[in-house]
Amino acid sequence: MAKKKNCTGRGLMKILTITTWDSAGEQFNGYQIHKVLNQIGHKSDMSVMIKQSHNEGIHTLGNVLTRLYDKTFAALLESLLGLRSILPISGSTVFLKKYYHDADLIHLQIIHGNSFFSILNIPLMSRRHKVVWTIHDPWMMTGHCIYPLGCERWKYGCGDCQKFEIPFRVRHDSTALMWRIKCWIMHRSDVTLIVASKWMYDNIRASPILSHLPCHIIPLGIDLDKFRQIDRKKCREEFGIPDDADVLAFRFKGTDDHIKGWNFIKEALISINPEKPTYLLIFDGKGALDILKEKYNVIELGWSKDLATVIHALNAADIFLMPSTAEAFGMMAVESMACGTPVIVFDGTALPDVIHAPEGGISVPARDSKALADAITGLLKDEQRYAQLVENGLRIVREEYSLEKYIQRHIELYKSILCEE
């Protein structure tokens, strides 16, 4: 069946977003775009595996039987065969829905985060509809992993994988087969890709699976009415931090984390001899090594759904450390800059470009804990450079990462795609 040709650039657009969740992680899954589209007179629906809101335009995929199949038989068989997002069937139930057939454009968001959607659906969707897919990480470019972490085999077909139990476990190495399946699927699909960073764009262009497809960079956006500078002294009082202390903030995903750079943060902090009381504000996980508590006052926030707590903590910090070894964008770096807190990152990920290092933040050589420590101590002592980074960071966020600009860029792309000949 031929695609519908419906140039709606000056009128009503009917957009369907397919993703794992609706309101959870809304800055990543299209929920913010969905709300604004309906507010300004377009028709937007979301089809999700896990519905958490009560919005009438959000529909749950599958049923009791398909979800049971996906979570048991499909998940077990994929693990045995070394596959991912091939055998689930709940996502296929969207083909039976009126809102799917009525849609002018399908926007795929996070579709491999849960066992519900088969990527075999993509060629079928693109035969009838205009399809846009936001690629949030390199998973679709590889035979298994979400981040290659230095491995280059994704450029040539994968196979002989040394990490096929990361990030999800499969029983044996089928990475070459999975790579070929992805390549077969995407070379039979007419899809426009979206990525959030130049780093991801460059990876798309190097991928034999995806390089033939059109790709647009649309950076993620944040609500600048919420993420903003607040009185730092008052924020510190909330956490019991003295006004004259140094405060370092970072994420802790566990001692076995290979992505967020915990080992390098730990080594850097151990090597530093603080000249005055220094506090560590730690997001996400708890249980950082006790050795840090000998030198630092440690405040473990854990995983917080309270946005105000996150914003106040970022305002309370002097520096946000984000020495990730892999990062496709780095939302917390942007959120920190919006709160007037400079960021230190590693080279080799999307982060240096996202924070506009060295103008908007500091980037040091990857996996170099000494360079990280030197950057921390140097920035805490250099008041002039610190003030300039704060000013530049606030300007960069206003110019590039506002939620309004993020949504408007999507609307403009939708219109341009729907008006293509």
Measure the CA dihedral 342/407/226/262, to 10°.
-40
Is the pLDDT confidence value at 211 over 70? yes
Nearest to 131 by CA among 164, 109, 161: 109
Higher pLDDT among residues 278 and 420, named by residue: 278
Confidence of residue 254 (pLDDT cuts 50, 70, 90): confident
Least confident of 7-11, 50-54, 82-86, 208-212: 7-11
For residue 373 the two structure tokens come to 């420590």
The whole-number pLDDT of residue 136 equals: 95
Confidence of residue 238 (pLDDT cuts 50, 70, 90): very high
Is the pLDDT confidence value at 315 over 70? yes
- DSSP per residue over 88-149, as a string? --GGGGGGG-HHHHH-SEEEE-S-SSSTT--TTHHHHHHHHSEEEEE--SGGGGSSS-SS-T
The whole-number pLDDT of residue 82 equals: 87
Q: Which helix (H) or strand (E) holds 248?
A: strand 246-252
Q: In this structure, what DSSP letter does residue 405 have?
A: H
Does residue 345 contact residue 389 with C-beta atoms inside 8 Å?
A: no
Mean pLDDT, residues 269-293: 87
Q: How far apart are CA 196 and CA 191, in angstroms?
A: 17
Mean pLDDT, residues 316-334: 97
The whole-number pLDDT of residue 293 equals: 85
- Strand segments, DSSP code E, in 254-360 are 278-284, 297-302, 319-322, 343-346
Mean pLDDT across the chain, nearest whole number? 92
The whole-number pLDDT of residue 257 equals: 78
Q: How far apart are CA 280 and CA 290, in angstroms?
A: 13
Confidence of residue 3 (pLDDT cuts 50, 70, 90): low
Measure the CA dihedral 408/413/418/419, to 10°.
100
Q: What is the pLDDT of residues 66-79, one digit of tens each?
A: 999 999 999 999 98
The whole-number pLDDT of residue 286 equals: 77
Q: How far apart are CA 46 and CA 167, in angstroms?
A: 27
CA 49 to chain centre: 18
Mean pLDDT, residues 400-421: 93
Is the pLDDT confidence value at 399 over 60? yes
Is the pLDDT confidence value at 80 over 60? yes
The whole-number pLDDT of residue 420 equals: 74
Strand order from edge to edge, sheet including 246-252: 297-302, 278-284, 246-252, 319-322, 343-346, 362-364
**To which residue do tokens 């009128």 refer?**
11
Is the pLDDT confidence value at 191 over 90? yes
Least confident of 40-54, 190-204, 229-243, 371-385: 40-54
Mean pLDDT, residues 341-352: 98
Does residue 337 contact residue 396 with C-beta atoms inside 8 Å?
A: yes
Q: Residues 6 or more apart from 418 whose CB is under 8 A from it?
A: 6, 7, 8, 9, 13, 104, 105, 130
The whole-number pLDDT of residue 162 equals: 79
Domains, the chain, with CATH or none: 14-221+403-418 (3.40.50.2000), 232-400 (3.40.50.2000)
The whole-number pLDDT of residue 166 equals: 66
Does residue 158 contact residue 143 with C-beta atoms inside 8 Å?
A: yes
Mean pLDDT, residues 362-379: 98
Confidence of residue 189 (pLDDT cuts 50, 70, 90): very high
The whole-number pLDDT of residue 115 equals: 86
Mean pLDDT, residues 320-334: 96
The whole-number pLDDT of residue 287 equals: 73
CA angle (145, 135, 123) in 5-degree steps: 95
Q: How far apart are CA 108 and CA 177, in angstroms?
A: 24
The whole-number pLDDT of residue 4 equals: 56
Most confidently modeled of 5-19, 277-291, 406-420? 406-420
Q: Which helix (H) or strand (E) holds 191?
A: strand 191-195
Is the pLDDT confidence value at 321 over 60? yes
